[in-house]
Amino acid sequence: MAKLLARAGVASRREVERMIGEGRISVGGTPVETPATLLTSLKDVTVDGKPVTAAGSARLFRFHKPTGVLTAASDPKGRPTIYDRLPKGLPRLMPVGRLDMNTEGLLLLTTDGGLKRQLELPSTGVERTYRARVFGDVSQTQLEELIHGIEIEGMRYGPIDANLERRTGRNGWIEMRLAEGKNREVRRVLEHLGLEVSRLIRTAYGPFALGDLPRGAVDEIHGNDLATFRKTLK
């Protein structure tokens, strides 16, 4: 059931499990008790009393996430989330990965839980690109060492292709490309190198670039471009 509902764009599998625990999902009017419930279709399935329709073709959107908003459905502290910033009239969308509250830039959103999982898994090797504005001293040689990966406080991070784009005094911009995207990975690695990060922007996720999409804006990736990309996934 959790898998079917995720593919239908109701929520991520983890979120579906939480919703089941809250008694929000029913089959034939009876609340479901476990996400391991086996179903062959979504017939008679409701969420918060509303029928769930089967998933159509996967859709993918670009969103220019601003700083100051959480990548979450809601926040117990009442802080704004991406859903407070998205325009009305969009289908139910799930974020692909996360950007922390103070990170801006490209956030992909999809209607399809299976596509979301494909894009997020490290095994698929989808590259993420970031630009960081930093303060401190670092050399290109130090950055190039990151291609071998790095361990910080017991956490191992995979290869990072990092380049010093430009520097003015002790201020500079660094571009980083990586395929794992662990929690706060870019910030932790740069801080480990003794740098202060004052701005962090995700500029691309796989072949999909932020480009000149205005902050807070959203647009849909063409279906043919998405289909072509999916054929390249491992």
Judge whether residue 2 has pLDDT over 70: yes
188, 178 Cβ separation under 8 angstroms: no
User: Of the ranges 52-61, 73-82, 121-130, which one carries the lowest mean pLDDT score?
Assistant: 52-61
Q: What is the pLDDT of residue 234?
A: 67
Judge whether residue 181 has pLDDT over 90: no
CATH of the domain at 154: 3.30.70.1560
Judge whether residue 69 has pLDDT over 90: yes
Give mean pLDDT, residues 55-67.
90
SS3 56: coil
Regarding whether 69 and 170 lie in a shared domain, the answer is no
Regarding whether 218 and 112 lie in a shared domain, the answer is yes
Domain extent at residue 119: 60-123+207-230
CATH of the domain at 7: 3.10.290.10
Regarding whether 201 and 134 lie in a shared domain, the answer is yes
Judge whether residue 55 has pLDDT over 70: no
Q: Which of 120, 84, 95, 75 is nearest to 11 (CA)?
A: 95
84 is annotated as an active-site residue: no
SS3 60: strand
Regarding whether 161 and 116 lie in a shared domain, the answer is no
Chain CA centroid to CA 83, Å = 14
pLDDT digits (tens, 9 = 90+) for 199-210: 999 999 999 999
Regarding whether 73 and 178 lie in a shared domain, the answer is no
Q: Which of 175, 172, 139, 138 is nearest to 160 (CA)?
A: 175
Regarding whether 212 and 114 lie in a shared domain, the answer is yes
Regarding whether 65 and 91 lie in a shared domain, the answer is yes
CATH of the domain at 100: 3.30.70.580
Regarding whether 197 and 134 lie in a shared domain, the answer is yes
Q: Which residue has the higher pLDDT, 180 or 226?
A: 226
Regarding whether 167 and 67 lie in a shared domain, the answer is no
The count of structural domains within the chain is 3
Regarding whether 65 and 47 lie in a shared domain, the answer is no
- Report the residue count for the chain: 234
Regarding whether 180 and 86 lie in a shared domain, the answer is no
Q: What is the pLDDT of residue 192?
A: 96
- 75, 84, 100, 225: which is the annotated catalytic residue? 100
Give mean pLDDT, residues 63-83.
93
pLDDT digits (tens, 9 = 90+) for 126-176: 999 999 999 999 999 999 999 999 999 999 999 999 999 988 989 999 999
Regarding whether 197 and 213 lie in a shared domain, the answer is no
Q: Which residue has the higher pLDDT, 214 or 35?
A: 214
